[in-house]
Amino acid sequence: MHEMTKLLENLNKQQRQAVEIVDSPLRIVAGAGSGKTRVITTKIAYLIDHVGIKSTKILALTFTNKAAREMKDRVQKILQNEALNPFISTFHSFCARVLREEAPILNLPKHFNILDTADQRTILRQLIKAHDLSPEINVVKFEKKALGQISDWKNGLLSPDDVLETSANPDDREVAKLYKLYDERLRSEKALDFDDLQVYTYHLFSNYPEVLEKWRKRFDYVMVDEFQDTNDLQFELIRFLTKGRNDLTVVGDPDQTIYSWRGARVEIITNFQKYYPNAKTIVLNENYRSTQQILDLANDFIEQNHHREKKLIFTQNLGGKRPEVKEAASRYAEARYITSMIEKMVKNDGYQYNDFFILYRANYWSQEFEKVLTNAKIPYQLVGAIKFRERKVIKDAMAFLKVILLQDNLSMERLLHLTPKVGEVTQQKLTLLAQEKGLNLYEVVTSPENEALAVTKHLETLRNALIQGEQLANNQAPVTQILETLLDLSGYWEQVKILDNDEKDNQNHLKALLDQVQRFDDEFDPERYGESNPLLAFLQEEALTSGDDNQQEPNKVTLLTIHSAKGLENKVVFIAGVNQDVFPSRFSMMRTDSLEEERRALYVAMTRAKERLILSYVQGEYSRLSNGLLQASRFIRELNQDLIDIERNIFVHNDGVITSQPASTKTMAASEFQKGDLVNHILFGDGIVIKVYETEYQIAFNNPKFGVQILVKGNPVLRK
């Protein structure tokens, strides 16, 4: 009890209220870093110590694995008792947990198989083939459409029979039939895909009142963090557990909704009272995470979103260093700069490696950092993402390059696997043929006698591609040309385009790889490699630089996407690749409302920082990502120039010295005036500068007739 008093003293008045309210449902709406998660973690302790609830009867849900981990750590720190074990997890693992326990009712084995997307695709493809289902000639395209459609149906709680009944047009009917077969197949194999976890739990709760009652009794209190990102199905699950009761606390920040593309609906938090009429609401408005300088910039920035409610947020953490913006000439230069800043700050300013986050909008931006950090021997970890080299598309592309020179069976098998209409049976036949002839698989596929084509005609395209690629390689062609030829002629590029999800991730990974290969070609020096064939040199370098970077080391720099950084914080935050077509992503610009969602993502990123915030972008390097030269994101221009320090053309010299150009040399006009300067304008008279943008000032004039005006810099304004 004594401890509890001390814990509550660590909270401000509103937070304390939020912890103590247990007699009605509670909603906390508040900005980043205002202690929402701290309220949850403290409330867990409060419920145990003060209200007397058993730790295992408390359920706390959040969205990402990393956030769940973080919450567990914070709670453990407060409780200091391993025996106390509140249920803290993501929605999906909560559902998996429920389903394992209720498996017998659902006629599932206790350790049912959970399928990933690749498994799902394999099954769909087999079914399409076996039942001759594709109404289109392009099976791959049909398969992709079916995958998305089935997921939507599942999340909308529509069964195969529901869909079969209602789908009128022939195409939909085909997908509906496939859905039914897919569903039967999963049931017969007792496997669940990711969507199934939530859907099954929903059905379990709605069809078995006694089971629901058991789970309702299982938990005496339910809390949900990051509530702004809840979708309808998840909210239904929460309602099942808490409807008509008072034991629910939800916390969220509408400005941090970044999952609406996955069905998250911010209305769920804004209309909370509709579902829980006796709910109370608490607003927190003191930020404890960031310095004033960081907070000012983030708040000023998010105000450009129109669809939001204004929030007041302040901090007592005055001062700190101004957020910085750095422009680099290439992705390599950006990575070098950040890496060397980390080295310097560790050496001179007492920071540790684990005080750093490097955030980016899309996974493909990590590759340059992985390389440069590895070279600099700085320990790092990638969160929630597969390393660039371990991604399937990259491995596929590398298999093409490897096989034409190395003729290894592993790569060849990989390629056969990729080839449409070539299955296990054909592969076995080819392997047998190879054994008979004493050849390797590659030789069999590409042999002049065309033996492989006798086995299956579906190898023709691949065979031609490989032969062309091999010729180019023998003629010592640049690696870029070889890779492009292989990807084009084999149809792989086309296949990726069709299969790609809406974010175009795989295409972007391939483009990033091509950029990297291009750089290799540009810099290729036979002397240095002791090898005149570019492809051989490239493969050698690859073999040397990949692998073995997975040692256990707790003190690491963390690389992660903004989406997986939700709810986390760190002393120093770098946000890299704030580039047009990257962030906001080109894809997002095609959807309505999504610019605001992208802005929220940058707001989330900036508000992760406690002490130092450094944004960077690449200017002028060619990239396929933007079909031209990389440019600063519009978000860089939207930052209030009064609140940041900008440096251009940052460059790390070999001796580690960093040079840069001051901000004024290029497009940015020198800020003649600062915020707060009193000025005089020929026409408008006296006024005061209220904001300084890259190329404009916002000035409030004394004469109400003119009011607030935006004026281009250089416009005749005189200092008073």
For ligand ATP, the binding residue among 265, 289, 336, 563 (CB under 6 A) is: 289
252 binds, among Mg ion, ligand ATP, none (CB under 5 to 8 A by kind): none
CB of 225 to Mg ion, least distance (A): 6
Distance from C-alpha of 614 to C-alpha of 247, rounded to nearest angstrom: 41
Residues 365-394 that bind ligand ATP (CB under 6 A): none
Complex with ligand ATP: residue 567 or 584, whichever CB lies closer: 567
CA-to-CA separations, 470 to 120, 368, 403, 416, in angstroms, rounded = 34, 29, 9, 17
Q: Are strands 645-652 and 324-328 parallel, antiparallel or unpaired?
A: parallel
Active site residue 37: yes
Tokens of 348: 């001179």
Q: Are strands 685-692 and 678-681 parallel, antiparallel or unpaired?
A: antiparallel
The residues that touch Mg ion, with contacts defined as CB under 5 A, are: 36-37, 567
CA-to-CA separations, 524 to 368, 541, 633, in angstroms, rounded = 18, 11, 31
How distant is the alpha carbon of residue 702 from its chain centre?
Answer: 47
**Interface with ligand ATP includes 402 (CB under 6 A)?**
no
Indicate the helix (H) or strand (E) that contains 222.
Answer: strand 221-224
Binding mask 201-220 for ligand ATP (x = CB under 6 A): --------------------
Contact present, 393 and 510 (Cβ < 8 Å): yes
Complex with Mg ion: residue 254 or 567, whichever CB lies closer: 567
- Number of Cβ within 10 Å of residue 555's Cβ equals 10
Q: Which residue in 674, 679, 671, 672 sits closest to 701, CA to CA?
A: 679
Complex with ligand ATP: residue 175 or 313, whichever CB lies closer: 313
**Interface with ligand ATP includes 288 (CB under 6 A)?**
yes
For ligand ATP, the binding residue among 36, 391, 402, 563 (CB under 6 A) is: 36
Q: 492 by DSSP, 3-state: which?
A: helix
How distant is the alpha carbon of residue 111 from its chain centre?
Answer: 29
Contacts of 715 (CB under 8 A, 6+ apart): 681
CB of 12 to ligand ATP, least distance (A): 5
Of the candidates 14, 15, 27, 37, the residue annotated as catalytic is 37
Complex with Mg ion: residue 34 or 446, whichever CB lies closer: 34
Would residue 246 be called left, alpha or beta, if left means φ above 0 and alpha means ψ between -120 and 50 degrees? alpha
Active site residue 36: yes
Choose the stretch contacting ligand ATP; rule: CB under 6 A; options: 32-40, 43-51, 193-201, 636-644. 32-40
Contact present, 142 and 136 (Cβ < 8 Å): yes
CB of 567 to Mg ion, least distance (A): 4
Residues 237-256 that bind ligand ATP (CB under 6 A): 253, 256
Q: Which residue in 426, 392, 486 sits closest to 129, CA to CA?
A: 426
For ligand ATP, the binding residue among 27, 38, 66, 154 (CB under 6 A) is: 38
Active site residue 256: yes
Tokens of 46: 């409060």
Contacts of 542 (CB under 8 A, 6+ apart): 398
For ligand ATP, the binding residue among 86, 254, 323, 567 (CB under 6 A) is: 567
For ligand ATP, the binding residue among 7, 11, 333, 465 (CB under 6 A) is: 11
229 binds, among Mg ion, ligand ATP, none (CB under 5 to 8 A by kind): none
Q: 613 by DSSP, 3-state: which?
A: strand
CB of 571 to ligand ATP, least distance (A): 11
35 binds, among Mg ion, ligand ATP, none (CB under 5 to 8 A by kind): ligand ATP
CB of 492 to Mg ion, least distance (A): 42
Q: Which residues are catalytic?
A: 36-37, 225-226, 256, 608
**Residues at the site binding ligand ATP, with contacts judged by CB under 6 A:** 10-12, 15, 30, 32-38, 253, 256, 288-289, 567, 569, 607
